[in-house]
Structure 1
Amino acid sequence: MYVKDVSNSPMAGVRQFDEDEALERVLAVFWRKGYGATSMQDLAEATGVLRGSLYNAYGGKEAMFLAVFDRYKARYLADAAKALDKPDIETALTDFFAFSIRSMTTGKPSRGCLTTKTATDESADSAEIHAALGSLLDGLEELLQQRFARDDAHGRLQLPPAQAARLVVTMTRGIVVMERIHGDAAKLRATASALVKVLLHAP
């Protein structure tokens, strides 16, 4: 999809930009810098689109964040579902945590977790942003509940599926914080492995 980039300057004329490419660059900036530290000028420079044109197209920084977070959420939940779709519950959980840790430790420096980074940003305090963040965590919890309800998980879970799902989601948020402090992916994997052992009876 292409969106017209109309400058306020009569010298600039009219040009078009690739919206998909622009939003991917916007997502990368928010993920790297965080919501509060990102300015509209940062987004203009990252996309190569004039700041006024971004306002015209999207309505401001919060609207742009919500647009790219929706993309991020869909991608994250699809990847989480793929990781969990294994025939054995222990493998499914191990692969899920591996995916989660790999996502937050990507980059130099590592990019962390967009959801948690935004949730702890006092400048990202609007009801709309909170609702968007909550929808991702609720979606993740639902995926885990569905996976824990499958036949191969029966008899192995130490907790009811709903409680186990909430514990795993909460653990993913704690892992994010530990990654920010220690930056040690191997330690994160060891912690996740310990939780899997606590959650499951031996086969």
Structure 2
Amino acid sequence: MEERLAGVRQFDEAAMLEEALALFWRQGAAATSMLDVAAATGVQRGSLYNAYGDKEAIFLRAFDLYAARFLDGARASLEGDDAGPVLRRFFDTVIANMTSGTPARGCLTTKTAGDGSLASERIRDKLGGFLDRLAAVVEAALSRPAVRAGLALEPAQAAMVVVTFTRGLAVMERVHGDPAALTRAAEGLIRALVR
């Protein structure tokens, strides 16, 4: 992935960030060293330090990839006008995201929040911003008149409950590793939220 051109090390940033994202997702941000990032990406540590400054900066860039993809998937799953099916598709997407991979990779946001990385203000702000954007995406979908008519709660409150519940799903996935149980739990919440 890395080559020397005219004394300057150059690498494919997109490919490097993909590999770094996979590594952080698998190991967690706190447990991953810059040496690990260099080995996984095939980019020398010196080049990584020169390009980004530190491991945290690489994590933040990789997390941006994760967040953009997750939010795109969430928006797509929340299309429609019937509250029950809309929420079912959303939870199916969330559960698929955290249970994919062998072994299942879990939820990067929850994994990072629980591994000590929140001691960094930049990481805490990045995760908080992501969860706020996710809540806004869910609220916008639940605010569509036809969807809103089927809800037992106002869209803003329902969105906060839904996003908070996804964090609980992430913990249950790590503990039990049972996607079917996650789906059953989500179905119970949907029944509580939909008239």
The reply on whether 1:26 has 2:12 as its aligned counterpart is no
User: Aligned-pair RMSD on alpha carbons?
Assistant: 1.7
Deviation (angstroms), 1:14: 4.3
The reply on whether 1:82 has 2:76 as its aligned counterpart is yes
Partner residue of 1:49 out of 40, 43, 47: 43
SS in structure 2 of the partner of residue 128 of structure 1: helix
State how far apart, in whole Å, the 1-side matches of 2:162 and 2:96 are: 16
Counterpart of 2:57 in structure 1 is 63
Deviation (angstroms), 1:110: 0.7
Deviation (angstroms), 1:125: 1.4
**Is the alpha carbon distance of 1:186 and 1:68 closer, same or farther for their aligned partners in structure 2, counting shifts above 3 Å?**
same
State how far apart, in whole Å, the 1-side matches of 2:148 and 2:56 are: 43
Map 1:115-194 → 2, pairs under 5 A: 115-194=109-188
What whole-Å deviation, never above 9, does each CA across 1:154-191 have from its counterpart, x for those lacking one? 33211111111000000000000000000000000010
Which stretches of structure 1, 4 residues or more, deviate above 6 A after TM superposition?
none
State how far apart, in whole Å, the 2-side matches of 1:133 and 1:5 are: 34
The reply on whether 1:105 has 2:99 as its aligned counterpart is yes
Percent identity of equivalent pairs: 52
Greater helix share, structure number? 2
What whole-Å deviation, never above 9, does each CA across 1:84-137 have from its counterpart, x for those lacking one? 012322111100000000000011111000001101111441111001001110
TM-score by length of 2: 0.94
Deviation (angstroms), 1:15: 4.3
State how far apart, in whole Å, the 1-side matches of 2:75 and 2:123 are: 23
Can you give the 5+ residue segments of structure 2 that lack an aligned partner in the other structure? none
**Aligned partner letter, 1:104:** M
- Is the contact between residue 169 and residue 182 of structure 2 (CA under 8 Å) also seen in structure 1? yes
- Is the contact between residue 101 and residue 185 of structure 1 (CA under 8 Å) also seen in structure 2? yes
